[in-house]
Structure 1
Amino acid sequence: MNTFNTKKLIAKQAIIFSSTDSEISIHIFMEPFIYQDEIVSPIIRLDYIDLPSTKLRDLVGKSLTFTKGDLDGSIYLDSAHHPVDVVSLSFFLSRQNKLTILVKGMYDFEYEGLDGVANEAFVLKTFLSSCDVNED
């Protein structure tokens, strides 16, 4: 059996989705990797986020902190949804003038059990884009 290495969880791109202003999600797409002889491309899905806006220009320089359980998400690995508890989101411009998101939190791999992997703190950084096409 191949042991899962959490260092394989590298953020590739994040996208804001919204169906209404009160239903905002961020999906963080991870770099693909091989696990148990299969190529996997996990996504961390964070739903019902209380963001000040879905417009990228409005998020520049903003930071949000959350207490445990305020912003939960999940990552699907090894046929199970593993909880992800986010403690902060920060938004800043990169040197390429693109919006970057910094996400800090905890993977809860003990909840469903993942190859004997313990819960682990993480920090992810990647570019952020938006699917919000409203003109206002």
Structure 2
Amino acid sequence: MANRNLFPVKRLSPSNAFLSAAEGHLSLYICFRPFVWDGETTETSLNIDLYNVLPSPYPRDLAGLQRTFGEIENGFADEGAPEPECSLDGSLYLGGKHHPVIIRSLSFLPNRNRTALTLMVKGEYLFEFEGLNDYADTPFTLNAPLWSNAV
């Protein structure tokens, strides 16, 4: 197999993150600023469903929280492995395909004046799974201001 290049992650520049309370779980939507892909302006987001991952949908309860995750929590466990206490399901739609995303950590960082939170996500885009212009699976770290529909 030919060497694959890492995806230019700077193209995926987050504008904001939104935490949504859904029935039975929470969802994170990390919106990226529009960028040019294959000659067209593209808008996309990183979508992460969270099952028993966070203690609360309220940002005030998440300040300072840091969680790390492995393959099992991301749904990539060997058959017969025990069910994890929490799980995540992340994906990024790009190039006409949904690409799985492994989430390695979530951190909820208070901003300087302690009135809001910044979400920091570390993970890996799995572009080899569905294929994206011969890009390799690519690690990333992103930061975005966090909003929530929980009031």
In the superposition, the TM-score normalised over structure 1's length comes to 0.89
Taking a change above 3 Å as real, the CA distance of residues 43 and 69 of structure 1, as seen in their structure-2 partners, is farther
Distance 2:16 2:122 in 1: 15
Q: Which residue of 1 aligns with 2:141?
A: 123
Written as runs of structure 1 = structure 2, the 5 A alignment for 1:52-91 is 52-70=55-73, 71-91=88-108
1:43 and 2:45 matched: yes
Q: Which moved further from structure 2: 115-124 or 64-73?
A: 64-73
Task: Give the residue type in structure 2 aligned to 1:83.
Answer: P
Q: Which residue of 2 aligns with 1:23?
A: 25
User: Aligned pairs, how many?
Assistant: 129
Q: Which moved further from structure 2: 94-103 or 6-15?
A: 94-103
C-alpha contact (below 8 Å) 2:59/2:117 kept by paired residues:
yes
Bigger relative contact order, structure 1 or 2 (CA pairs below 8 A, ≥6 apart): 2
C-alpha displacement at 1:34, in angstroms? Answer: 0.8
Q: Structure 1 stretches of 5 or more lacking a match?
A: none
Distance 1:25 1:55 in 2: 13
Task: Give the residue type in structure 2 aligned to 1:110.
Answer: E
Runs of 4+ in 1 over 6 A off after TM superposition: none
C-alpha displacement at 1:115, in angstroms? Answer: 0.7
C-alpha contact (below 8 Å) 1:16/1:130 kept by paired residues:
yes
1:80-119 CA distances to partner (integer Å, 9 max, x unpaired)?
A: 0001000110001112532111100000000111111100
C-alpha contact (below 8 Å) 2:50/2:89 kept by paired residues:
no
Taking a change above 3 Å as real, the CA distance of residues 69 and 61 of structure 1, as seen in their structure-2 partners, is same
Distance 2:116 2:34 in 1: 23
C-alpha contact (below 8 Å) 2:63/2:109 kept by paired residues:
yes
**In percent, how many aligned pairs have the same letter?**
40
Distance 1:69 1:110 in 2: 19
Q: Any idea what SS the aligned residue of 2:136 has?
A: coil
Task: Give the residue type in structure 2 aligned to 1:12.
Answer: S
Q: Which residue of 2 aligns with 1:34?
A: 36
In the superposition, the TM-score normalised over structure 2's length comes to 0.80
